[in-house]
Structure 1
């Protein structure tokens, strides 16, 4: 399995001097997309449908679960990154921590799968899945992850998202209202402008 993992990595990894346009795209997908998606989720919370907040809280619960699973895997089994073992070309800086699974891909795919399982924002969910594939390719291309890291991320994302489904009554009926009250209380306490932070959306 490890031999296949390394063989696939070398097929996808960038050459020492890749085309500037592809390198720019890969760097954007590898790092910036995750930040943009986090900003999009925040925008959906503030300005999206009021009934969509439970979906976002559910996705947040799945993300927390996935993050804990990833941290546990990394603590129990250290898998070196390609550049640590001198394999391929590393084109972005990265700490020499465990590579499996990919946190970036896990983030993208957990949100995507959560949206798809809840039946909300289906196009956005599929978009997250597609951009997750782009993130996976980019981080392999830039030499900081193996293909197996991405397969692991997809498995963790699906598992975490499925685990949240049985807890939906608690997420929708208890957790979401509590978080909404905390959010609205914070907006009022800080006297944030109602134009930017509306509290009475339907």
Structure 2
């Protein structure tokens, strides 16, 4: 473990630096406006997209049959992302790895001004991957979109010259481990909590009100006149 920390603190080795140099070098062949747009996405846009994805998952979870459980899963995805960022604080302090533009001054095209704090692990990679993995536990399709965003974010952080690839991988690992290892305990606490909310004024935040005339209707299907329902055989049994 000590050897790994020492290696990271020293800059991660030639391969790590070679990848940063090559990926960041792509910026010199792109128009300045494109570089600026990609840097904005890497710093703000993709994390915001991940948050919007979380909100979309919450909106869908409210309409599930087991809405309290689904909403608890979405809630854990957001909480886990925040917790993973907090856990990264002592990791940064322990490793104290200089960022690529600090360790190799003047050799990178820094696309956005950035403070010279610890590089390992990447907060952006940690946050986006934690949200993505959390969403995978609730909604596979949205989770896959989230993972694609996390991978894109990792590429952008290297492209911008502010992180090494191993910083990004470390963030992915931290975000994933936080979500999966603590999920059983978190869901054991959050599921009763969301169930309890359904009995309060905050119930609409957990379960979307269902229209009486559209109950059981296939989305997009025309409304049919209501007919008296026959007694259910299952209930009669």
TM-score range, shorter chain: 0.7 to 0.9
1:101 aligns with 2:121: yes
**Rg larger for:** 2
Cross-structure match for 1:148: 166
- Cα gap change, 1:183/1:15 in structure 2, threshold over 3 Å: closer, same or farther? farther
**C-alpha deviation, 1:179, in angstroms:** 7.2
Q: Does residue 9 of the first structure (1) align with residue 10 of the second (2)?
A: no
Instruction: State the match for 2:45 in structure 1.
Output: 32
In the alignment, which residue of structure 1 is the partner of 2:188? 169
Q: TM-score, normalised by structure 1?
A: 0.80
Preserved CA contact (<8 Å) 1:184 1:199: no
Asked whether the equivalents of residues 89 and 143 of structure 1 are also in contact (C-alpha less than 8 Å), the reply is: yes
TM-score in terms of structure 2 length? 0.69
Residue 131 of structure 1 and its aligned partner are, at CA, apart by 1.2
- Aligned twin of 1:126: 144
Q: Flag the structure with higher helix content.
A: 1
In 2: Cα distance, 1:181 partner to 1:27 partner: 45
Runs (5+) with no aligned partner, structure 1: 186-193
Root-mean-square deviation over aligned CA pairs: 2.7
Q: Deviations over 1:114-145 (max 9, x none)?
A: 122x2x22111111111111111111111111
Q: Per the alignment, do residues 183 and 95 of structure 1 end up closer, same or farther by CA in structure 2, a change over 3 Å counting?
A: farther
Q: Give per-residue Cα distances to partners, 1:79-106, cap 9 Å, x unaligned.
A: 1111112142211111111111111111
CA contact (8 A) 2:54 2:131 kept: no
Off by >4 Å, runs of 4+ in structure 1: 177-183, 197-200
The residue number in structure 2 matching 1:19 is: 30
CA deviations 1:139-165 (Å, max 9, x no partner) are 111111111111101110111011222
SS at match of 1:100: coil
Query: What residue is the counterpart of 2:209 in the other structure?
Result: 201
Which whole-Å CA distance do the structure 2 matches of 1:4 and 1:102 have between them? 18
Structure 2 gaps, min length 5:
1-11, 211-237
8 Å contact from structure 2 (residues 53, 142) kept in 1: no
Is the contact made by 1:14 and 1:143 (CA closer than 8 Å) also made in structure 2? no
Aligned to 1:191: none
Instruction: Tell me if structure 2 keeps the 8 A contact 1:61–1:164.
Output: no
Distance 1:125 1:111 in 2: 8
